[in-house]
Chain A
Amino acid sequence: MSVTKRRLTIAKAMSEAIAAAMDKDPSVLVLGEDIGRLGGVFGTTQGLLDRFGADRVRDTPISETAFIGAAVGLAASGMRPIVELMFVDFFGVCMDAIYNLAAKQSYFSGGRVPCPMVLMTSVGGGYGDAGQHSQCLYATFAHLPGLKVVMPSNSHDAKGLMLSAIADPNPVVFMFHKALQGMGWLGTVPGSIVHVPVEDYTVPIGRAQVAKPGQDITLVGVGITVHYALEAANSLAAEGIDAEVLDLRTIAPLDRDAIAASVRKTRRLIVVDDDYTSFGLSAEVMASAVECSVDWLSTPSRLAYPDVPVPFSPALEHPLLPSASKICERVRSLLRRRAA
């Protein structure tokens, strides 16, 4: 007797998690641009307006300053708002509400006024949308105390992380990668579409997961870079190289224990990151790795997006992105250096 597989895209899994939370708790609300009638430009709020009505699922004018500020106020007064910043690139006009108000509310009030809000936002490029619609900016948010930052690589984790984020008493930035959403016009990495249980469950914030165990080298990724790493690990297996792939799932707080456990075993590390190279997530992961005592077999290394704005032309953009073949090349060169 086969159990029917319930495959969902990340977009559907996010919508399902939000609906489940709204069902249980009338204080959960959704605000944002095109999240009502359209169901979200990236499909994150499908079916919510019909089910819960316009009082709880509200399309806002194009003013992130206003509606994200409003969400911080709602969270301070007992509501649990979920707001969508359509592209993370647009954070400039609402950052004061995010990092000076939301992130510090609990701290400034001695824990008396929590800020249970979820800021969900799309990240990533690769589809020719140029420099103001293609950035990742993981480290920009993860750098700031008081903010948690999560990003799923598959629909199972998307539902569980969203339910954790909504339940959290403090602000959680829920990032989702456009190329994993399951919206046809952005392409979809098939590995992101997995079985999602009907019932509610949580994926804990701050916990990474080994996506593929291995002995020879650790490949760390998050979101789409997990899929590049898995593809690379698959090709490398044919050459007798056994790579471990670690899916961070949460960017802040970073699961340093999981990074340490993996590199102590493999003693080799490549961090794959589609955000800018300098001062970024990849540097933080490498710092965590070198802070634990490991007798390295090769120097830890990062493979990230160069420090340039994202070009519009696919001919210019695509060679700059991390890829499975770049990871394979880097792994081979690290292992060759050891052999030499």
Chain B
Amino acid sequence: MNSPVPVMIPMDLWDEEGEGVIATWLCKTGERVDEGAALAEVMYEKASMEIAAPASGRLLILIEAEAPVHRGQLIARIEA
């Protein structure tokens, strides 16, 4: 069995150290997602960016919408 694939806030999503926020999850925990599908929208300094699924599988959300996030943070897992 494959180990879960982490969904992270990419380190290059914004340049500074500041906090962003998960604006909204586009998918739910338990749902099957395809690699490349948009999973969530993240806001930083009023700019909105999408987080894409790094793999196909079942989504497990770890950080709920409206929570602050930083670059490199683990926000979900995708289980095969």
Partners in one complex: yes
Chain A interface residues toward B at CB < 8 A: 2, 4-9, 11-12, 38-39, 43, 46, 182-185, 187-188, 190, 193
Contact flag A5-B37 (CB < 8 Å), given A183-B23, A188-B23: yes
Kindly provide the distance from the CB of B48 to the nearest chain A CB, expressed in whole angstroms. Answer: 6
Q: Is B41 an interface residue (CB 8 A)?
A: yes
Query: Across the interface, which residues of B come within 8 angstroms of A185, CB to CB?
Result: 21, 23, 43
Having A2-B34, A4-B34, A183-B43, one finds 9 other A-B pairs with CB under 8 Å, namely A4-B37, A6-B37, A38-B46, A183-B23, A184-B41, A188-B24, A188-B65, A190-B24, A190-B28
A183 to B34, CA, bound (A): 24
Query: Across the interface, which residues of A come within 8 angstroms of B41, CB to CB?
Result: 9, 12, 182, 184
Chain B interface secondary structure, helix, strand, loop or mixed? Answer: strand
A-B contacts at CB below 8 angstroms, number = 53
Kindly provide the distance from the CB of A45 to the nearest chain B CB, expressed in whole angstroms. Answer: 12
Q: Is B63 an interface residue (CB 8 A)?
A: no
Contact flag A7-B34 (CB < 8 Å), given A184-B22, A184-B43: no
Query: Across the interface, which residues of A come within 8 angstroms of B22, CB to CB?
Result: 184
A39 engages B48 (CB within 8 Å)? yes
Kindly provide the distance from the CB of B35 to the nearest chain A CB, expressed in whole angstroms. Answer: 9
A184 engages B36 (CB within 8 Å)? no
Contact with A along B41-65 (1 / 0, CB 8 A): 1010011100000000000000001
Kindly provide the distance from the CB of B58 to the nearest chain A CB, expressed in whole angstroms. Answer: 12
Contact flag A193-B34 (CB < 8 Å), given A38-B46, A182-B41, A184-B66: no
Q: Is B26 an interface residue (CB 8 A)?
A: yes
A188 to B65, CA, bound (A): 9
Q: List 28 A-B contacts (CB under 8 A).
A: A4-B34, A4-B36, A4-B37, A5-B34, A5-B37, A6-B37, A6-B38, A7-B37, A8-B38, A9-B26, A9-B41, A11-B48, A38-B46, A39-B47, A43-B48, A46-B48, A182-B23, A182-B41, A183-B23, A183-B43, A183-B48, A184-B22, A184-B23, A184-B66, A188-B23, A188-B65, A190-B25, A193-B24
A182 to B22, CA, bound (A): 10
Range for the number of chain B residues in contact with chain A: 20 to 34
A187 to B64, CA, bound (A): 12
Which residues of chain B in 13-35 are interfacial with respect to chain A, using CB atoms and an 8 Å cutoff? 21-28, 32-34
A133 to B32, CA, bound (A): 39
Closest residue of chain A to B39, judged by CB? A7
Contact flag A2-B32 (CB < 8 Å), given A7-B27, A9-B26, A184-B23: yes
Query: Across the interface, which residues of A come within 8 angstroms of B48, CB to CB?
Result: 11, 39, 43, 46, 183
Kindly provide the distance from the CB of B18 to the nearest chain A CB, expressed in whole angstroms. Answer: 15
A188 to B24, CA, bound (A): 7
Query: Across the interface, which residues of A come within 8 angstroms of B32, CB to CB?
Result: 2
Kindly provide the distance from the CB of B61 to the nearest chain A CB, expressed in whole angstroms. Answer: 12
A193 to B34, CA, bound (A): 17
Contact flag A7-B26 (CB < 8 Å), given A183-B43, A184-B21: yes
Query: Across the interface, which residues of A come within 8 angstroms of B37, CB to CB?
Result: 4-7
Q: Which of A5, A6, A46 has the most CB of B within 10 A?
A: A5
Kindly provide the distance from the CB of B51 to the nearest chain A CB, expressed in whole angstroms. Answer: 12
A174 to B64, CA, bound (A): 31
Closest residue of chain B to A186, judged by CB? B23
